[in-house]
Structure 1
């Protein structure tokens, strides 16, 4: 069985630096390689560009784009690295730009990026109704339709943001039009935040350990995930 080593905080070796030097000109268009790490399998080197990972040999002559799996256990080493790279420092999230709701003791905390026109987000709101003892921060992330930002603004300007959001997402009740005096909304900031965190779809659920789940999950899957978060 192949074991993967963690490379965070390990200085770049001369061999890794050389692979990086060789690889960058071959990527073209001024692309910069963020990190090169020698893997414990097949003499390959992991090359990270932003949130993307691929593999190459010591001479950077060949490139392999795909997943590395353990043939015995089916452990997906590439997915593990992608999950590690995509982790979010939860304490750095600007929670004042999100809608907050607490259920029960509120000990299980998540942040969710949702678009008001997202069907799977609406399904996930129903999932949240089935799960207790949570604190949910909802970032209205307007990426799906031209009127997404208008709906989000109307919700944000409501007297009860959480009720207005759930009324729309669960019950299909259109939020009242925002007063002309309500101009201070976090729409642009949340959009920039999601882009910075590479949130490419909705819903995207972020947990306090920094891990994320892109897409809809049901109550059973959410409970199972909560059980793994320390």
Structure 2
């Protein structure tokens, strides 16, 4: 989304367009998977994953930040994030396409890229959880981390996948180079289906998603709310 933001800032034009959406997608193909709606005045909101920006109809002004409705005191940006937060059908989450790390009665799934620094940070937090089975869904983002796909495959093909995953993310121990059938394409298709655009992304048993490297306490708090429902 930063690339999109900078592209819009650096190349925005002043000519008004009759068909905003078509022009936006033509000029900035990165927005084709974004949710674009009229927001306020002549501004549209562009929501992609957890990122929200606003741009006006003639592409002369871009807003990147919190927009607040002063009458209600409500953050329009936060409301858009919540409204567009991905929610996954739990039936589409398959343990067979994941690496199980830990064992417990409670379950979470995590889309993770082995070369993502935030995924490594989250991995340390996941180790603090109690009574939780964590199912890692390898999701290499090769546009950011070119070696992530081969690393994910080597880890998947290891004799002890959990040990190989933890070894690389927590200690930087590279897995032996092995190739085999793997779920990387299925995981990528699942992420695309539900607009999971970045890693890490934690999926709970009700299908709700928390993006980013959140602390173990936040994961525990979310798990506790699910028990109460």
TM (normalized to structure 2)?
Answer: 0.67
CA distance in 2, matches of 1:202, 1:35: 22
What is residue 92 of structure 2 aligned with on the other side? 93
What is residue 125 of structure 1 aligned with on the other side? 123
What is residue 209 of structure 2 aligned with on the other side? 212
Give ranges in structure 1 of 5+ residues lacking alignment: 1-22
- Is contact 1:90-1:208 (8 Å) kept? no
1:218 positional shift: 1.5
Could you say if the C-alpha distance between residues 210 and 68 of structure 1 is closer, same or farther in structure 2, counting changes exceeding 3 Å?
A: farther
Could you say if the C-alpha distance between residues 87 and 159 of structure 1 is closer, same or farther in structure 2, counting changes exceeding 3 Å?
A: same
What is residue 78 of structure 2 aligned with on the other side? 79
Greater shift in the superposed pair: 157-166 or 25-34: 25-34
Greater shift in the superposed pair: 131-140 or 204-213: 204-213
- Is contact 2:86-2:196 (8 Å) kept? no
- Is contact 1:125-1:170 (8 Å) kept? yes
Structure 1 residue 115 and structure 2 residue 110: aligned?
Answer: no
CA distance in 1, matches of 2:145, 2:35: 33
TM (normalized to structure 1)?
Answer: 0.66
Give ranges in structure 2 of 5+ residues lacking alignment: 1-16, 26-31
RMSD of aligned Cα (Å): 3.7
Describe the SS at the equivalent of 2:19: helix
Which has more radius of gyration? 1
Describe the SS at the equivalent of 1:202: coil
CA distance in 1, matches of 2:80, 2:47: 13
Describe the SS at the equivalent of 1:103: coil
Greater shift in the superposed pair: 201-210 or 168-177: 201-210
- Is contact 2:90-2:206 (8 Å) kept? no
Aligned residues: 198
What is residue 15 of structure 1 aligned with on the other side? none
What is residue 170 of structure 2 aligned with on the other side? 170
1:145 positional shift: 1.6
Please list the CA deviations of residues 154-208 of structure 1 after superposition, one character each: whole Å capped at 9, or x if unmatched.
1111122111101111122211121xxx431112222232233222322111222
Larger relative helix fraction: 2
Could you say if the C-alpha distance between residues 201 and 87 of structure 1 is closer, same or farther in structure 2, counting changes exceeding 3 Å?
A: closer
What is residue 136 of structure 1 aligned with on the other side? 134
Greater shift in the superposed pair: 66-75 or 116-125: 66-75
Could you say if the C-alpha distance between residues 118 and 50 of structure 1 is closer, same or farther in structure 2, counting changes exceeding 3 Å?
A: closer
- Is contact 2:158-2:176 (8 Å) kept? yes
- Is contact 2:116-2:145 (8 Å) kept? no
